[in-house]
Amino acid sequence: MTITQLQYVLAVAEHKNFTLAAEKCFVTQPTLSMQIQKIEEELNILIFDRSKKPIQLTAIGQKIVEQAKNIVNEAGKIKDIVEYQKGFIGGEFRIGIIPTIMPTLLPMFLNNFIKKYPKIKLIIEELNTNEIITKLKNGHLDAAIAATPMEDEKIKEIVLYYEPFVAYVPENNIISQKTEIEISDLNLDEILLLQDGHCFRDGILNLCRNQEITGKNSFQIESGSFETLIKLADEGLGTTLLPYLHTLNLNEKDKLKLRQFKEPKPAREVSLIYPKSELKIHIIEALRNTISGVVKGAIAFQNVQIISPIPKK
């Protein structure tokens, strides 16, 4: 069997369709099918149950796919080893960034990075945390920027910075009279939240874990946009919490509605994460140094309390 044949097996396992897998591998469907059949004949087993729709892995096929992932990933790192030994910092690098970090952080470091490392081709995707973990483990991403800790033994984390939570409080809210607030000042029923799937939402729920949503409000909304939550707060429909870097882009009028927490300030830990088997360490270090350099001047808070992005059971 060959690496190419194993790549075809992985494509079918991922897409559960021979035709779609062939398109993703840039070969014809008969070619892909024939190569997979050759492996099955060589091993005298069936990797896929073709009688089911969509196509399913057989019991032995599941074990083969897990091993094939390791083989294909390790084979792909041979070039990385050579480049690392030569000190070459370049090539394609796929990175995922969660939605609550990408709009503020990416403009801060991307221009500096591509000027300093013109031979690196960054392929950037905006993905939620679950999508990032899946793609990292499947070899579809080299690294990602996300809220941590993740408590995943297969993922390595390098902390980039700690980003405090900041309350956005409309003038008609009672806590707007305070210059600094405490977690106990928050009313979970009044907090406008991002939609489910955002780890920043989970961080807020963990922050207010001693409270319960009573459902007394006459409406319920969960948005994927901080801008929407800010506008709703301005209409007197509640308060919201923002990551610190997002507040830097607000106009001066809206900045007057911000309330910092008393120390230790609740904050999220933002890290560069990657599979423990990743060999493009020279590019990861380049990203780390560039991002840390630009963020260092923007965030000066030291005394923080890290809020986990993992939802409490």
- Please report, for the domain that includes residue 157, its CATH number: 3.40.190.10
Domain boundary among 76, 108, 134: 76
61-76, pLDDT tens digit by residue?
999 998 998 888 778 7
Instruction: Please indicate, yes or no, whether residues 150 and 177 belong to a single structural domain of this protein.
Output: no
Residue 301 is predicted with a pLDDT of 64
Mark whether 201 and 225 lie in a shared domain. yes
Could you give the CA distance from residue 272 to residue 287 in angstroms, rounded to a whole number?
A: 8
Q: What's the pLDDT at 166?
A: 94
Specify whether 93 is located in the same domain as 55.
no
**158 and 275 share one domain:** yes
Domain contains 310:
no
Number of other residues whose CB lies within 10 A of the CB of residue 225? 12
The verdict on 242 and 297 lying in the same domain is no
- Does 83 reside within a domain? no
CA distance 229 to 117: 37
171 conformational bin, left if phi > 0, alpha if psi -120 to 50, beta if neither: alpha
What is the span of the domain harbouring residue 15?
Answer: 3-76
Q: Residue 117: inside a domain, yes or no?
A: yes
Residue 112 and residue 230 in one domain = no
Do 158 and 272 have their domain in common? yes
How far is residue 88 from each of residues 60, 112, 120, 274, 289, measured CA to CA in Å? 40, 19, 10, 20, 17
Which of the residues in the chain have pLDDT under 70? Answer: 84, 88, 197, 210-223, 301-302, 311-313
Question: Do 262 and 274 lie in a common domain?
Answer: no
pLDDT, position 174: 85
Query: Number of folded domains in the chain?
Result: 3
Answer yes or no: do 194 and 150 share one domain: no
108 within a domain of the structure (yes/no): yes
Bridging pattern class, strands 180-181 and 258-261: parallel
Residue 134 tokens read as: 């899946």
Residue 24's alpha-carbon distances to 8, 15, 19, 34, 182, in angstroms, are 9, 9, 9, 16, 52
Phi and psi dihedrals of 266, rounded to 5? -65, 135
The tokens 């493009």 sit on which residue?
280
Structural domain includes residue 312? no
Q: Establish if 213 belongs to a structural domain.
A: yes
Residue 311 lies in a domain: no
Buried b (16+ CB within 10 A) or exposed e, 38-70: ebbeeeeeebbeeeeeebebeeebeebbeebbe
Write the CATH number for 58. Answer: 1.10.10.10
Euclidean distance between the first and final Cα of the chain, in Å? Answer: 45
Model pLDDT, residue 90: 80
| 130 and 179 inside one domain | no
Backbone angles phi, psi at 83, to 5 degrees: -65, -40
pLDDT attached to residue 85 = 74
> Which H or E run contains 204?
helix 199-207
Q: Which two tokens stand for residue 227?
A: 């801008």
Instruction: Quote the CA–CA distance of 6 and 10 in Å, as a whole number.
Output: 6
